[in-house]
Amino acid sequence: MNLIWVPLLPLLGCLVSLLLGRYPRSTMALGAAILPAIALGIVVSLAPEVMSGSNPVVTYDWVPALSLQISFMLDGLALMFTLLILGIGLLVILYARYYLSEADNAGRFYASLLLFMTAMLGVVLSANLIQLWFFWELTSVSSFMLISYWSHRSDARKGARMAMTITGAGGLALLAGLILIGEVVGSYDLRTVLASGSLIAEHSLYPVIVVLVLLGAFTKSAQFPFHSWLPQAMAAPTPVSSYLHSATMVKAGIFLMARFYPVLSDTHLWFALVSLVGLTTLLVGAYTALFKHDLKGLLAYSTISHLGLITLLLGLDTELASIAAMFHVINHAVFKASLFMAAGIIDHESGSRDMRKLNGLFRYMPYTATLAMVAASSMAGVPLLNGFLSKEMLFAESLHQETFGSLSWLIPLLVTVGGALAVAYSLRFVHDVFFNGEPIGLEKTPHEPPRYMRVPVEILVVLCLLVGVLPDLIVGDLLVAVGASLMPAGVPEFSISIWHGFNIPLLMSFLAVLGGVALYRQRRHMFNFQARFTEVDPKLAFEHMIQTLVERARSVQLWLDNGSFQRYALWLLLMAIAAMSVPMVNIPHARGSLEVTELDMVALGGALLMIVASVATAMLSHQRLLALVTISVVGLVVSVAFAWFSAPDLALTQLSVEVATIILFLLALYFLPQKVSLNHLSPGRIVRDMGIATAAGAIVGTLTYAMLTRPFDSISSFFTENAKTGGGGTNVVNVILVDFRGFDTFGEITVLAIASLGIYKLLAGVRLFVPAADMDGRPWSKDSHPLMLMQISQSLLPLALLVSAYIFLRGHNLPGGGFIAGLITAIALIQQYVANGVVWMRDRGDLKFQWFIVWGLFIAFASGVGSWLFERPFLTSWFDYFYLPLVGKFELASAMAFDLGVYLTVIGATLSILANLGKLTTTDRPTRPGRRS
């Protein structure tokens, strides 16, 4: 089956979960699990193909010119992570069914969980760098929703904000690194990038790329010093912790390092950075975990430590270090997910996670205690369990590395210390919770959970045992396939077995166990030592930093944003002058080599008229109605200029926009003072403003002159040569808008729709006083809709609509098109509002202009998606010629459907603003006399 269904099915599961939101929790859990289970079945069916060395790939072109594709690939590395994401995700869905209370919104929880599952699957399966980053950021967004699921709790909100800030900042660094990789390689296709390791390593930007990519990986996988967000995220429900913070989200950073391991590793910079950060994280996390009293806090810091262990392995320059890292990814996901679930059961059935209260629980919940002890033993690296095997591989690889030359002996010594700390905190988890006396001050008597709440823990613990006893049988082939992804040159032979004889790694394991027991027995002295240090709450420190940043930003904002539009224009012009002046100083002569066009009286007259109108607008700005008249002259001259220079489409568009803008200004000015006092303008300010305006005009004029007198390469010849043959139209402008650059146009009408809907919502809630008189105190005429204007406007409406239809239909071959036709229709309808009033229009059909926008965007999008049915890129157009009796030969183009979407969107957007702003002038509200200021 097509690989694209693997991330798509969980995404559809989000909708299913929301639709089942009012059903019983068992129904919701089943509905949430069905589609991911099908996706898991698809992955399992593709696994033999991957194991045999073939990597299924599915690719859809999105924007081929920019090398942007929707592309998914399943290789050994992606297979391993996909199995973890889907397998543990299904167990978490079952576990959450019993963990969530009746008061919790289970539908929203499952929808957020499946959205995160989709994002993680997108990360591991993406075969395009930009697509990978998109899903990477989606993991941050969806994890924010999950961590803050209990949004009524302050710690949940703060923890989610902290996680979002740190991982989001790392995501921006990652984006920069991926873009640099794409620029160096010349492609964003992952397969091309993975085959270009030497090209990247030899490039001068290699150090920058490594640092940026590792910043993204380190922040996501909670590596030191970016680790503090992970413990704060423990405010999330335990199913979230089991999934995000042990098996998936934190593993995204590990996956990123593994994915680019064939490309970016094998240099001293990589090995030094990754191994140092990993070793530091291993030790800091393990040491801190030993002193945590909260069950999830201990597990959170132990997770940080194990993530450091995996990162350290990816930074060791040995043959099997990367294989050992991926093996521990599997083992850690299995035993840590089961431990988090066991911690959730303890909290759920006892009402506390405080290890100082949780004592002697073995007597109350022996079955859960046994499961938790087996998982904790795996975490500590006890033989016959999966954690022992991968930790012994770490010890073995640490002995063979030479990353730090003569100081390399420190690595095996320190990882042994880290192993001892892991044994110590695992012993504390087991002894302090399940033995060590009786419970103290619990809210309720502990007891075993519902039967099926334990099933996910049982499955994971059985996997710990099976992998620990039969490693080659369970994961051997999978690790070989993973190795093929990490080492394209060939995977060295390796064997994972319980017994390798008496050797140094076994001795290191033995010393780690003895050291861990000794540390735990001396924990009282260690706690007394640790108590001498002032404990800093990372959450409070982060909040203090955020509040300080907000206060400083507010002070800067208040200095810049003081409510003076004149000041905004001043800063804008000063920045523009500074930006343009520096490069223009380096141009020796303003005039280029091209001949200057001879000046004729018509052009001179138009230019002078526009200059006079512009100056008049500035001088009459205190009389807004007169200023509006003079500025309309500027727009009219610009329209004539477009027509004069053979740009009829631009002339029609400018004229239509000018009419709509003047109406908008008139409606807005109705609520504003019609005169503005100039008493606040001192002579010094006037001189300053004139000087800045003159300088800006001189620089822009000089720049324009320099550009127009110099030769330049234009792509216009391509459009004129291909408009007819490629787009089926002789109107080059319209063909560009609806065909060659249709994607740009679709983005523009989307922005127009969003802006108009935003303005509509603002107008729906605004409350304005309607002035009862003009500026001289004369009351407005009661005859607001003169009979002559009403009759003429009604007669003009059919004619205007006919002209609009004509302009629309001919737009592909003659000046016109959907945008101009939409403006003409909107103006014709707004004229009816002006002439007859809102009530008259509503009685004859209350048009819902928002639906025009909806249908316009839908038709435009559908016309683009339709090209996929013919295996063409988005918005690929089609045209052909047909013949009908009486009609004759005529042309049909699919671009007309796209143009219809533009037409409807423009009508809806324009009238949503103008008609609803006009309603404010006629609504019955308290009035007051005309104002002056």
> Per residue in 698-721, pLDDT tens?
888 888 888 888 887 778 888 888
Residue 507, pLDDT above cutoff 70: yes
For residue 155, the model assigns a pLDDT of: 85
- Phi and psi, residue 888, nearest 5°: 90, -160
In eight-state DSSP terms, residue 189 is B
Dist CA 373 CA 390 (whole Å): 19
Residue 180, pLDDT above cutoff 60: yes
Name the pairing type of β-strands 888-893 and 879-884: antiparallel
For residue 713, the model assigns a pLDDT of: 79
Spacing of C-alpha 705 from chain mean position = 42
This prediction's pTM: 0.72
In eight-state DSSP terms, residue 874 is T
Position of tokens 């304005």? 768
* Residue 678: pLDDT band with limits 50, 70, 90: low
pLDDT in tens, 126-154: 999 999 999 999 999 999 999 999 888 88
Maximum distance among all alpha carbons in the chain?
107
Which amino acid, residue 136?
Answer: W
Residue 583, pLDDT above cutoff 50: yes
User: What DSSP letter does each residue of 283-301 carry, written as one string?
Assistant: HHHHHHHTT--BHHHHHHH
Beta-bridged to residue 71, according to DSSP, are 59
Phi-psi region of 817 (alpha: psi -120 to 50; beta: other; left: phi over 0): left
For residue 930, the model assigns a pLDDT of: 42
Beta-bridged to residue 893, according to DSSP, are 879
Residue 844, pLDDT above cutoff 80: no
Residue 674, pLDDT above cutoff 80: no
Residue 348, pLDDT above cutoff 90: no
For residue 836, the model assigns a pLDDT of: 77
What's the number of CA atoms in the CB half-sphere (13 Å) around residue 10? Answer: 28
pLDDT in tens, 159-173: 899 999 999 999 999
Q: Coil, strand or helix: which one is 587?
A: coil
Spatial neighbors of 332 by CB under 8 A, at least 6 apart, are 246, 303, 306, 307, 310, 387, 390
Name the residue among 802, 654, 815, 801 with its Cα closest to residue 730.
Answer: 815
Let me know: does 244 contact 143? Beta carbons within 8 Å.
Answer: yes
Dist CA 70 CA 125 (whole Å): 11
| 270: enclosing H helix or E strand | helix 268-289
Q: From residue 129, give the alpha-carbon distance in Å to each of 177, 658, 691, 881.
A: 10, 44, 49, 42
Residue 530, pLDDT above cutoff 90: no
Spacing of C-alpha 910 from chain mean position = 30
For residue 834, the model assigns a pLDDT of: 77
Dist CA 324 CA 429 (whole Å): 26
Q: Coil, strand or helix: which one is 658?
A: helix
| 879: enclosing H helix or E strand | strand 879-884
Task: Dig out the tokens for 469 from the structure.
Answer: 């006893």
For residue 924, the model assigns a pLDDT of: 43
Dist CA 780 CA 800 (whole Å): 30
pLDDT in tens, 766-781: 666 666 666 666 666 6
User: What is the domain partition of the chain in residue ranges?
Assistant: 265-530, 598-680, 730-933
Task: Dig out the tokens for 815 from the structure.
Answer: 């000046």
Q: What is the dihedral of CA 36, 41, 45, 51, to 10 degrees?
A: 60
pLDDT averaged over every residue in the chain:
86
pLDDT in tens, 369-416: 999 999 999 999 998 899 999 988 999 888 888 777 777 788 899 999
Average pLDDT score over residue span 897-903: 91
Residue 549, pLDDT above cutoff 70: yes
- Rounded to the nearest 10 degrees, the angle between the axes of helix 849-865 and helix 895-919 is 160
* Residue 585: pLDDT band with limits 50, 70, 90: confident
Dist CA 268 CA 317 (whole Å): 9
Highest mean pLDDT among 276-280, 396-400, 835-839, 916-920: 276-280
Dist CA 177 CA 781 (whole Å): 66
Dist CA 20 CA 14 (whole Å): 10
List helix spans (H) across 709-837: 716-727, 732-735, 742-765, 787-809, 818-836
In eight-state DSSP terms, residue 60 is E
In eight-state DSSP terms, residue 64 is G
Q: 245 or 906, which is more confident?
A: 906
- Phi and psi, residue 918, nearest 5°: -65, -30
For residue 921, the model assigns a pLDDT of: 64
Give the 3-state secondary structure percentages of the chain, helix then strand then coil, rounded to 5.
70, 5, 25
Spacing of C-alpha 539 from chain mean position = 24
User: What DSSP letter does each residue of 356-422 carry, written as one string?
Assistant: TT---GGGT-HHHHHHHHHHHHHHHT-TTSHHHHHHHHHHHHHHH--TTGGGTTHHHHHHHHHHHHH
* Residue 690: pLDDT band with limits 50, 70, 90: confident
Q: 436 or 856, which is more confident?
A: 856
For residue 927, the model assigns a pLDDT of: 43
Which amino acid, residue 423?
Answer: V
- Phi and psi, residue 875, nearest 5°: 70, 20
For residue 258, the model assigns a pLDDT of: 94
Average pLDDT score over residue span 334-349: 92
Lowest-confidence region among 243-247, 733-737, 754-758? 243-247
- Phi and psi, residue 650, nearest 5°: -65, -35
In eight-state DSSP terms, residue 531 is T
Neighbouring CB atoms inside 10 A of 600's CB total: 8
R_g (Cα) of the chain, nearest Å:
35
Residue 725, pLDDT above cutoff 90: no
Which amino acid, residue 530?
Answer: Q
Count of H helices and E strands in the chain? 38, 6
In eight-state DSSP terms, residue 522 is T
Dist CA 323 CA 287 (whole Å): 26
Phi-psi region of 405 (alpha: psi -120 to 50; beta: other; left: phi over 0): left
Average pLDDT score over residue span 205-230: 93
Can the peptide bond before residue 225 be classed as cis, meaning omega within 30 degrees of 0? yes
For residue 775, the model assigns a pLDDT of: 62
For residue 675, the model assigns a pLDDT of: 63
Let me know: does 688 contact 681? Beta carbons within 8 Å.
Answer: no
Average pLDDT score over residue span 598-615: 86
Name the pairing type of β-strands 927-928 and 57-63: unpaired
Q: Whole-angstrom distance between the N-terminal and C-terminal Cα of the chain? A: 72
| 63: enclosing H helix or E strand | strand 57-63
Spatial neighbors of 864 by CB under 8 A, at least 6 apart, are 742, 743, 746, 874, 875, 898
- Phi and psi, residue 5, nearest 5°: -70, -20
Residue 929, pLDDT above cutoff 80: no
For residue 911, the model assigns a pLDDT of: 85
pLDDT in tens, 95-104: 999 998 888 8
Percentage of the chain beyond pLDDT 90 is 37
For residue 460, the model assigns a pLDDT of: 94
CA angle 150, 153, 156 (to 5 degrees): 70
For residue 491, the model assigns a pLDDT of: 85
For residue 932, the model assigns a pLDDT of: 37
Spacing of C-alpha 11 from chain mean position = 16
